[in-house]
């Protein structure tokens, strides 16, 4: 049975703000790779389509070699999969046994996938958009039965961080099966590797004298052309993306994206890409967007003194995470001045400039703010973009016009949600 798998966003993406302002939810990571690339039991006979908000389509198309928001009708069945998918559960095995179009929901009633068998697609044009399938669902949803699945989904950013250990280990096992062993890396004879069978070094990696990689408690993968400097220690499970540099300090239980500069201490955190944490300071149990810069000694709290559950303010609502270790959630292009101290469970939007040299007691800082501790003023769009352009050009990248448009809308408090999929019975009509 051939499938076309379309990863989609639903309106729960706002539970992942500020990380989903500039990317679809399925481009977030819990382990070494984006959510849509995680282990897929249908991979052998399926093709992948990425569906997203219209405002993000060009950005996604530029960075990913998959069709975006267009589906060519053929002899395959079309499966829309929620981009928040955590685990397939029995979804794949159930799919292979069904001979009818089906809506799959979790035990909590959330839609995780909708199968449109090819027989149901007869009224659709040869080149189909997600809106065509949305219309088909709304027209015929009473004919599509509901099947409960053991598949599970992520609901908040902190769940991605909490899942790091398991996800990193799982991704390593999949990677190891398909990894081509290379010797095209350089290891100083005074660098130390512990539990080497659990370590993958990619082409062009350099380990300097005094560097330590310890995979005793979990696997470690270092991406192409990355460097681990002297007096830097990496403790698994851990992933470092390509062209990154790990400086003096300690990184443990984390997923560091491509082209990052990381020093000081980072624990159980996810850095998206192009993050600059060059100096001392601690970041723990956090999810950090792209192009974020941490000034020297910037440090966050990830544990309350009384060890109680941490509440996070998200879109103005205070939510009990059920966890006692939660750090920071930081949007793209945000910068921190030296000595900035971040409160437990703080949520900071995109294009902020946070400084002051003391504890930031705010629980949530909206996008495009300048200052700290309740005394923030608006960060003018033109000034924020000017800084973003300077920073990105240092890495040989120009900010796209599409990203500028999104950021300008965000500076005015406008969130473009055109293109979300609504697969629920109340949405009929």
- With a threshold of 0.75, does the pTM exceed it? yes
98 and 50 Cβ atoms separated by less than 8 Å: no
> What mean pLDDT is predicted for residues 181-198?
92
- Bridge partners, residue 329, by sequence: 287, 347
Instruction: Assess if residue 426 is contained within a domain.
Output: no
- Let me know whether 266 and 388 are in one domain: yes
Q: 384-412 burial, b for 16+ CB within 10 Å, e for fewer?
A: bbebbeebbeeeeeebeebbeebbeebbe
- Let me know whether 186 and 304 are in one domain: yes
Comparing CA positions, the residue from 358, 60, 298, 312 lying closest to residue 161 is 312
CA–CA separation, 384 and 171 (whole Å):
36
- Let me know whether 382 and 256 are in one domain: yes
> What mean pLDDT is predicted for residues 397-413?
96
Residue 180, pLDDT above cutoff 80: no
- Let me know whether 267 and 356 are in one domain: yes
362 and 318 Cβ atoms separated by less than 8 Å: no
- Let me know whether 193 and 342 are in one domain: yes
> Parallel, antiparallel, or unpaired: how do β-strands 335-336 and 311-314 relate?
unpaired
Comparing CA positions, the residue from 253, 218, 248 lying closest to residue 233 is 248
- Let me know whether 87 and 104 are in one domain: yes
421 and 361 Cβ atoms separated by less than 8 Å: no
Q: What is the full DSSP assignment across 311-342?
A: EEEETTEEEE-S-S---EEE-TT-EE-TT-EE
The total domain count for the chain is: 2
CATH of the domain at 131: 3.90.550.10
- Let me know whether 126 and 212 are in one domain: no
Instruction: Assess if residue 425 is contained within a domain.
Output: no
Between 53 and 358, residue with greater pLDDT? 53
CA–CA separation, 94 and 79 (whole Å):
13
Instruction: Assess if residue 133 is contained within a domain.
Output: yes
Between 380 and 356, residue with greater pLDDT? 380
Which of the listed residues 115, 138, 155 is the one where a domain comes to its end?
155
- Let me know whether 193 and 81 are in one domain: no
SS (H, E, C) 147-181: EECCCEECCCHHHHHHCHHHHHHHHHHHHHHHCCC
Least confident interval from 81-95, 135-149, 184-198, 400-414: 135-149
Cis peptide before 237 (omega within 30 of 0): yes
Unique residue bearing structure tokens 């990863």: 7
> What mean pLDDT is predicted for residues 81-96?
94
Residue 404, pLDDT above cutoff 50: yes
Under the banding of pLDDT at 50, 70 and 90, the label for residue 176 is confident
386: tokens are 């000017």
The pLDDT, as a whole number, for residue 142 is 82
The DSSP output letter for 374 is T
271 and 262 Cβ atoms separated by less than 8 Å: yes
Which of the listed residues 110, 140, 155 is the one where a domain comes to its end?
155
- Let me know whether 112 and 261 are in one domain: no
Cα→Cα distances 330→17, 288, 290, 351, Å: 9, 5, 9, 10
Which of the listed residues 107, 132, 155 is the one where a domain comes to its end?
155
CATH of the domain at 278: 2.160.10.10
369 and 378 Cβ atoms separated by less than 8 Å: yes
- Let me know whether 191 and 118 are in one domain: no
Q: What is the full DSSP assignment across 177-246?
A: HHPPP---SEE-TT-EEESGGGEEE-TT-EE-TT-EEE-SSS-EEE-TT-EE-TTEEEESSEEE-TT-EE
- Let me know whether 113 and 216 are in one domain: no
Q: What is the residue-averaged pLDDT of the chain?
A: 94
Cα→Cα distances 11→49, 52, 84, 220, 296, Å: 19, 11, 11, 35, 37
Domain that holds residue 264: 159-411
Residue 429, pLDDT above cutoff 60: no
- Let me know whether 249 and 384 are in one domain: yes
């Amino acid at each position: 049975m051939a499938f076309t798998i379309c990863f989609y966003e639903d309106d729960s993406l706002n539970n992942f703000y500020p990380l989903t302002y500039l990317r679809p939810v399925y481009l977030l990571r819990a382990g070494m790779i984006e959510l849509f690339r995680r282990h897929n039991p249908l991979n052998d006979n399926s093709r992948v389509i990425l569906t997203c908000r219209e405002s993000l389509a060009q950005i996604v198309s530029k960075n990913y070699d998959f069709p975006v928001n267009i589906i060519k009708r053929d002899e395959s069945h079309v499966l829309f999969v929620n981009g928040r998918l955590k685990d397939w559960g029995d979804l794949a095995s159930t799919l292979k046994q069904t001979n009818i179009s089906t809506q799959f929901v979790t035990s909590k009633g959330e839609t995780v996938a909708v199968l449109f068998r090819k027989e149901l697609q007869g009224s659709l044009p040869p080149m189909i958009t997600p809106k065509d399938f949305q219309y088909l669902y709304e027209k015929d949803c009473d004919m599509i039965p509901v099947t409960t699945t053991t598949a599970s989904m992520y609901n908040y950013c902190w769940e991605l961080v909490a899942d790091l250990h398991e996800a990193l280990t799982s991704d390593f096992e999949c990677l190891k099966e398909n990894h081509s062993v290379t010797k095209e890396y350089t290891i100083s004879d005074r660098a130390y590797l512990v539990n080497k069978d659990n370590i993958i070094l990619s082409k062009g990696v350099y380990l300097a004298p005094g560097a330590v990689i310890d995979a005793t408690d979990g696997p470690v993968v270092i991406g192409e052309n990355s460097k681990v400097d002297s007096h830097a220690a990496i403790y698994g499970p851990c992933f470092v993306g390509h062209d990154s540099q790990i400086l003096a300090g300690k990184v443990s239980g984390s997923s560091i994206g491509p082209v990052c500069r990381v020093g000081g201490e980072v624990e159980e955190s996810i850095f998206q890409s192009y993050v600059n944490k060059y100096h001392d300071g601690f970041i723990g149990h956090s999810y950090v967007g792209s192009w974020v810069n941490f000034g020297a000694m910037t440090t966050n709290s990830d544990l309350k003194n009384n060890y109680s559950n941490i509440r996070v303010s998200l879109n103005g609502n205070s939510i009990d995470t059920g966890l006692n270790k939660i750090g920071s959630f930081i949007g793209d292009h945000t910068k921190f001045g030296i000595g900035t101290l971040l409160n437990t469970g703080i949520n900071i939007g995109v294009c902020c400039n946070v400084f002051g040299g003391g504890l930031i007691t705010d629980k949530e800082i909206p996008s495009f703010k300048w200052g700290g501790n309740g005394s923030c003023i608006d960060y003018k769009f033109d000034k924020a973009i000017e800084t973003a352009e300077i920073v990105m050009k240092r890495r040989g990248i120009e900010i796209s016009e599409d990203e500028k448009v999104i950021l300008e809308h965000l500076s005015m408090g406008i969130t473009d949600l055109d293109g979300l999929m609504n697969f629920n019975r109340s949405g009929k009509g």
